[in-house]
A and B are shown apart, each in its own frame.
Chain A
Amino acid sequence: MRLRRATWLALPLLIVSPLLAACSSSSNGSSPTQASSSSGTSGSLKTGLKVFVIPKNLGNSYFTTSDSAKSGGALAAVQQLGESGSETSGTADTPSSQIPAIQAAISKGANALVLSATDPNALCPTLESAMKRGISVVTFDSDAPSCRDLFINQASSQALGASEVDLLAKQIGESGQIAVVSASADDTNQNVWISYMKQELKKYPKMSLVSVVYGNDDTATSTQVTQGLLEQYPDLKGIISPTTVGLPAAAAVLDTAKYRGKVALTGLGTPDEMKQYVADGTVKSFELWNPADLGYLAAYAAVELSSGKITGAQGQTFTAGKLGTFTVGSDHQVLLGAPFVFTSANINTFNF
């Protein structure tokens, strides 16, 4: 009994000892992590910067394309410019999964963060503490509007949302019930596009949006919610799935004699995953941009910021290697370009 009490009385000691360790090391712990940007420069860009690429989650082929060096994405730009960096994130499309990766990157002495935000607000405390330490924060694909230096948008959000509706409207004769199979309920980009879709729908009085369901960028969940949609709305005419995980999942559900041709499907998808569905007619057309170019541009922008060449103010221009020159627009946004429409005529020329 004596020893038993002693063991749990040691409990406060256990809690206090890391604090003692921290107090002694707090002097070197709290210093800013702007460590190793070397004096060498290429043009006027610094080299040796540490750039961390943090997608919404790992294991999503869209982000693998946008981030990896092999596909010419963000890390390819990082390597070309003589910086060092790696891709890191959690495995679920949620802020509490992404935040530890951001914090680890900060701890490891990041000079710049390139990330696709899982939530517009939840990341802000962490991102603001990064910016206070002089780390450049560039979001791409999905924004955190109040806590980043620049946002690299794949295309104007308004153009994306509107064109999705226009594509579907053409296929269903501009009348009928439609639904959206989205990713996660807090994804910034999804919600912005859906709001522009709703605006564009006002042009088509005979079409109505009956439901938005969430597949959480997980194939199994996306399949389930699509099936639920079809059962709940037997008169459904069209589905929009603006996520590269949701679109092939919904296509797989519709790829049966019962639905093919009766329920139209469009959205955002990668050509490789959608080739079979375009070939058999389940999907007539869908959109995307080149995710590798998006990552590449984001990494370039991050290095430009971190080297002090631009501050992200409206009207500033910079070159992004093979992609050309870009200008910073309003709200610190940089647009990659217009969305590209894939159809059976052109899909076989692409390989990502």
Chain B
Amino acid sequence: MQSENVRERLPWLFRWETALAIIVAAIAVIGASASPQFLTANNLFNLGLSNGEIAIMVLPMTLIIITGEIDLSVASILGMSSCLLGYLWERHWPMIVIFVVIALVGLAAGAVNGLLITRLGLPSLAVTIGTLTLYAGVAQILLGPTTVANFPAAYTNLGVNAVPGTGNALTYSTLAFAVLALIFGVVLHATPVGRGIFAMGASPEAALFAGIRVKRIKTILFMISGLVCAFAGVLYTFRLSTAVANNGVGLELDVVAIVLVGGISIFGGKGSILGAVLGVLAFAGIQNALLLTNFNQEASGVVAGGLLLVSVFLPGTRPLWRRIAAHSRGRVAVRKAA
């Protein structure tokens, strides 16, 4: 009886995000005790640098997965925009024009995904695996085996300097992530469009008949994903001051893993931006803590994979917990009666 009241009064206590926040705090505490450099400004700066672009790509991916789709071409769009940046820079195009072109190409790449999925009704998993390979191929065609590395210091400094005026911990990519997280959070949780996104994931047909423009919203989401990933590609290229065809290869798996750790259901209809942000912190925090404590680097993949499996497995066991809870409540009632 008591436990039911707690559930009703404080529903947030039992949410995935709360558990994840506790885990992130635990990682911070354990990391700090295992290594004195963990919570220093310098280390947080490095964390932001290494994970900034992945974190940025997590945000549109969260929305796409909530609608019940998936976008595996994110890392290839990042790579393609990186190679486009190098290709155009080598041909002495002005940087502003290059940025505009990359934004348009990102939108177009996302639009290809969105249109194939919504207009032709193809499964997003298959389509985005196809575009993953396609865009990676385009990246190869653009630069071949060459690398372009002569970007002006004004841009590549974002991989070296923190944002001025905030101490030494904030990278430009973390700042961009924070701003985008706020924007996506507002859209997802406080606008009708956001409610529509949840509805689409929970029940696509009901959403359609309720008048939600499913196809339009999904196409726009994929286009936004393309744009954001192209932006991440520009950040990535400037941070490493190198444009090369294999930039970003394989990152899509990290992005999806983080989204799932964040409590967003792979089946759609459930999740939150807060969960995604906490997932980024958990993922990056674990990898960094392992590095700093000299843990075997090759095994950090095992840890990350284990975390992912647990986060997919646990929601599936909710019926089991309910049965256990009901069972114990039943026992109490019997004892009281007796």
Contacts and interface: CB of A to CB of B under 8 A. Distances in A.
Contact of A185 (B37, B167, B246): B246
Given A19-B166, A124-B241, A185-B245, A30 B297 contact: no
A90 B272 contact: no
Interface stretch (A21-29, A134-142, A257-265): A21-29
Closest 7 CB pairs of A and B: A29-B40, A22-B169, A185-B145, A22-B41, A122-B240, A29-B41, A121-B149
B182 interface: yes
A63 B261 CA distance: 34
B147 interface: yes
A225 to B, nearest CB: 12
Contact of B167 (A5, A22, A128): A22
A91 B298 contact: yes
A339 interface: no
B44 A186 contact: no
Contacts of A91: 297-298, 301
B272 A184 contact: no
Which of the listed residues A4, A186, A214 has the most CB atoms from chain B within 10 Å of its own CB?
A: A186
Interface stretch (A93-101, A154-162, A306-314): A93-101
B160 interface: yes
Nearest to B248: A96
Interface stretch (B87-95, B126-134, B273-281, B324-332): B273-281
Interface string B226-259: 0000000000100111101111011000000000
Nearest to A120: B149
B277 A11 contact: yes
Contacts of B207: none
Contact of B272 (A6, A8, A100, A216): A8
B5 interface: no
A14 interface: yes
A88 interface: yes
B274 A7 contact: yes
Interface in B277-332: 277-278, 281, 287-288, 291-292, 294, 297-298, 301
Nearest to B48: A18
A345 interface: no
Interface in A1-55: 3-8, 10-12, 14-15, 18-19, 21-23, 25-26, 28-30
A61 interface: no
A120 B147 CA distance: 10
A91 B304 CA distance: 14
A186 B242 contact: yes
A22 B273 contact: no
B124 interface: no
A79 interface: no
B292 A107 contact: yes
B39 A101 contact: no
B39 A21 contact: yes
B262 interface: no
Residue of B40, B147, B185, B236 contacting most chain A CB atoms (<10 Å) = B40
Given A22-B169, A95-B240, A96-B240, A8 B189 contact: yes
B169 A107 contact: no
Nearest to A216: B246
24 contacts: A4-B189, A8-B273, A12-B178, A15-B181, A22-B168, A25-B39, A26-B167, A28-B40, A29-B41, A30-B41, A59-B298, A88-B291, A88-B294, A94-B246, A99-B50, A99-B240, A100-B287, A121-B240, A121-B242, A125-B156, A125-B239, A129-B160, A212-B145, A216-B246
Given A7-B272, A108-B292, 9 more contacts: A6-B12, A7-B15, A8-B272, A19-B166, A22-B40, A23-B167, A96-B236, A121-B147, A121-B241
Contacts of A86: 294
Nearest to A91: B298
Interface of B: 11-12, 15, 17, 21, 35, 37, 39-44, 46, 49-50, 145-147, 149, 156, 159-160, 166-170, 174, 178, 181-182, 185, 189-190, 236, 239-242, 244-247, 249-250, 272-274, 277-278, 281, 287-288, 291-292, 294, 297-298, 301
B160 A5 contact: no
Interface string A67-101: 00000000000000000001011111011100111
Contacts of A15: 174, 178, 181, 277
A335 interface: no
A119 interface: yes
Nearest to B181: A11
B320 to A, nearest CB: 26
A227 interface: no
A26 B46 CA distance: 14
A114 B6 CA distance: 57
A216 B249 CA distance: 12
A348 interface: no
A5 B298 contact: no
A99 B174 CA distance: 18
B200 to A, nearest CB: 19
Q: Tell which of B12, B42, B156, B170 has the most Cβ of chain A within 10 Å.
A: B42
A42 to B, nearest CB: 25
B297 A90 contact: yes
Interface string A310-339: 000000000000000000000000000000
Contact of A25 (B11, B41, B189, B287): B41
